[in-house]
């Protein structure tokens, strides 16, 4: 199946400055970059997300994109063959951007998604570039994975490579290349160790400079 990368439309400069508790919400610095190399890496990353899912997508009819931001990855996963794909985030403001960009999809606050998921779990949950922002990643991971009866798709920056590339590109130099809001850092080994208690890992892929894991939740 050929899947086109999605593009969030109708975005103003004010929408790119959305914050929640002082932390930037959304992924403008990644998806909206005009740097051709960064755009190439983004396209490779999105294709890798889809490829990891494709052997299992026929078994997935519903999903929740946790920490969906402006909805780009939610739409990408939906476009890859998941019909009942929803998104959630912690910010009403960023959800308004997602709803405007993808009006045919459902986007809700994460607490609403937890309430819904507790009644009827999804076939898939995704956490794309979320774990690195969490103060207690293991606690939140366990809570999010309780919302799926089957699969999980998770990605994080590959560290310290991610910070090194940022620094070499002159980004966030005062913070040694660390992106705003990134308070956790993983490589392939430490990420799989974090996930092993909760997931039977089916696929692991590095897509420079990210790590992607697709797994099945343990009962």
Global pTM value: 0.88
Q: Which residues in the chain show pLDDT less than 70?
A: 1-32
- Residue tagged 């076939």 (tokens): 123
Give the pLDDT confidence score for residue 27 in this predicted structure: 59
Give the pLDDT confidence score for residue 203 in this predicted structure: 96
Reported as a single tens digit per residue, the pLDDT across 54-66 is 999 999 999 999 9
Give the pLDDT confidence score for residue 217 in this predicted structure: 97
Question: Contact at 8 Å (CB) between 190 and 159?
Answer: no
Which residues on adjacent β-strands are paired with residue 212? 155, 205
Give the pLDDT confidence score for residue 120 in this predicted structure: 82
Domain boundaries along the sequence of the chain: 21-206
Give the pLDDT confidence score for residue 1 in this predicted structure: 45
* Calculated CA dihedral for residues 130, 131, 134, 140, nearest 10 degrees: 100
Alpha carbon separation from 55 to 34, 122, 125 (Å, rounded)? 33, 18, 16
Range 21-206 has CATH code 3.40.640.10: no
């Amino acid at each position: 199946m050929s899947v086109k990368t999605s593009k969030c439309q109708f975005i103003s400069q004010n929408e790119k400055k959305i914050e929640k508790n002082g932390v930037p919400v959304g992924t403008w610095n990644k998806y909206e970059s005009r740097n051709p190399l960064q755009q190439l890496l983004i396209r490779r990353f999105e294709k890798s997300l889809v490829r990891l899912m494709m052997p299992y997508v026929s078994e997935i009819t519903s999903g929740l994109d946790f920490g969906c931001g402006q909805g780009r990855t939610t739409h990408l996963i939906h476009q890859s063959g998941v019909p009942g794909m929803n998104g959630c985030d912690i910010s009403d403001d960023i959800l308004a951007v997602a709803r405007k960009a993808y009006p045919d999809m459902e986007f809700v606050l994460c607490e609403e998604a937890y309430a819904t998921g507790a009644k009827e779990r999804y076939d898939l949950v995704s956490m794309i570039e979320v774990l690195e922002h969490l103060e207690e990643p293991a606690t939140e991971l366990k809570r999010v994975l309780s919302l799926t009866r089957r699969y999980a798709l998770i990605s994080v920056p590959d560290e310290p490579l991610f910070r090194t590339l940022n620094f070499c590109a002159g980004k966030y130099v005062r913070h040694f290349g660390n992106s705003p809001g990134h308070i956790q850092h993983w490589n392939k080994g430490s990420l799989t160790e974090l996930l092993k208690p909760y997931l039977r890992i089916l696929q692991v892929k590095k897509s420079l400079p990210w790590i992607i894991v697709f797994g099945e939740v343990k009962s």
